[in-house]
């Protein structure tokens, strides 16, 4: 996969990169697919300008059918990226090459399909398909911008630690907390227990995106132990201080994990828009094609 780091998203591989990895697929083979896409758009535009027809060609003309067929085939192929991401192959048709083609050929649809419509848009199923396609493309552009900005923040948020190292840090602190809580009374041990049961990697999508946990058991345990320290005396103060120190370190480690999870969720969440819109687009395309061939 070269410079690309492959991360797991619901069983599928996704191209989350470190640093400049998004450039990996955007620059793939010296922008080969950008060149193909520009050439395709240039030929389509030239053909539109050269067609000597009045009124100007629309979706129902020979030119319109040609552009419509090309657009449809491209959309079906772009949709196949979902299947391709789940298959492991390398070389000429690596995931990197495929994603590069996906992005640039996807963008070429703006020109190809707009020319196919002959600029005749209205409140009908044909324009619905067009609108949905534009939304899929816009969400794709958003995805690329997210890949551009977030990977650096992702590696900063980990403070040079890998995910297993981050988990390991929390597990070590939990073990130390368990020992440090031995001299405490039952009520205080229960407070520490709540922090030990905190599992930040199990947070749902919305909580990950928010990057916070207002009910964080560790933060609550910390506040409670600080309150108890003010009321404690003698050796108990020392034991509570040790626990507070560990809870503070755990709280900082959890904050780092939450930031990391937040950035990862933002890298993935746009696909929850891109993919459902793709299926809506295909449904609208079926309606568009059926209405063109059967009701015209």
**Residues engaged in binding ligand HEM (CB under 6 A):** 12, 14-15, 75, 78-79, 81-82, 85, 99, 102-103, 106-107, 109, 133, 136-137, 140-141, 143-144, 271, 274-275, 278
Work out whether the CA dihedral 84, 87, 88, 89 comes out positive or negative: negative
Identity of the residue, 33 or 63, whose beta carbon is nearer to ligand HEM in the bound complex: 33
Q: What is the smallest separation between the CB atom of 140 and ligand HEM, expressed in angstroms?
A: 2
At 275, list the tokens: 């993919």
Identity of the residue, 177 or 267, whose beta carbon is nearer to ligand HEM in the bound complex: 267
Q: What is the smallest separation between the CB atom of 289 and ligand HEM, expressed in angstroms?
A: 15
Q: What is the smallest separation between the CB atom of 7 and ligand HEM, expressed in angstroms?
A: 9
Strand-pair partners of 15: 6
Residue 30 Ramachandran class (φ > 0 left, ψ -120 to 50 alpha, else beta): left
Identity of the residue, 70 or 133, whose beta carbon is nearer to ligand HEM in the bound complex: 133
Q: What is the smallest separation between the CB atom of 264 and ligand HEM, expressed in angstroms?
A: 13
Q: Is 242 exposed, middle or buried (0-12, 13-18, 19+ CB in 10 A)?
A: middle
Q: What is the smallest separation between the CB atom of 9 and ligand HEM, expressed in angstroms?
A: 7
Identity of the residue, 132 or 239, whose beta carbon is nearer to ligand HEM in the bound complex: 132
Q: What is the smallest separation between the CB atom of 113 and ligand HEM, expressed in angstroms?
A: 9
Contact present, 17 and 150 (Cβ < 8 Å): no
Identity of the residue, 70 or 181, whose beta carbon is nearer to ligand HEM in the bound complex: 70
| Contacts of residue 84, Cβ cutoff 8 Å, sequence gap at least 6 | 95, 98
Identity of the residue, 75 or 225, whose beta carbon is nearer to ligand HEM in the bound complex: 75
Identity of the residue, 137 or 196, whose beta carbon is nearer to ligand HEM in the bound complex: 137
- Of all residues in this chain, which one has the CB nearest to ligand HEM in the complex? 140
Q: What is the smallest separation between the CB atom of 8 and ligand HEM, expressed in angstroms?
A: 11
């Amino acid at each position: 996969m070269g410079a690309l780091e492959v991360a797991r998203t619901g069983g599928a591989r996704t191209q989350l990169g470190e640093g400049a990895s998004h450039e990996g697929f955007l620059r793939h083979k010296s922008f080969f697919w950008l060149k193909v896409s520009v050439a395709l758009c240039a030929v389509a535009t030239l053909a539109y300008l050269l067609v000597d027809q009045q009124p100007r060609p629309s979706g129902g003309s020979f030119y319109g059918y040609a552009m419509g067929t090309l657009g449809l085939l491209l959309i079906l192929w772009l949709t196949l990226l979902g299947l391709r991401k789940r298959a492991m192959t390398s070389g000429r048709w690596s995931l990197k090459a495929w994603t590069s083609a996906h992005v640039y050929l996807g963008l070429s649809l703006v020109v190809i399909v707009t020319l196919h419509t002959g600029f005749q848009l209205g409140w009908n199923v044909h324009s619905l398909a067009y609108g949905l396609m534009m939304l899929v493309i816009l969400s794709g552009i958003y995805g690329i911008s997210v890949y551009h900005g977030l990977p650096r923040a992702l590696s900063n948020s980990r403070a040079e630690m890998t995910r297993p190292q981050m988990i390991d840090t929390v597990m070590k602190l939990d073990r130390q907390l368990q020992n440090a809580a031995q001299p405490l009374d039952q009520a205080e041990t229960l407070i520490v227990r709540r922090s030990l049961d905190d599992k930040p990697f199990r947070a749902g999508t919305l909580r990950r995106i928010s990057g916070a946990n207002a009910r964080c058991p560790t933060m609550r345990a910390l506040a409670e132990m600080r309150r108890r320290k003010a009321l404690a005396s003698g050796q108990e103060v020392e034991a509570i201080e040790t626990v507070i120190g560990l809870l503070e370190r755990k709280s900082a480690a959890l904050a780092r994990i939450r930031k990391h999870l937040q950035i990862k969720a933002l890298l993935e969440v746009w696909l929850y828009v891109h993919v459902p819109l793709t299926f809506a687009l295909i449904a609208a395309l079926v309606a568009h094609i059926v209405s063109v061939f059967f009701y015209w």
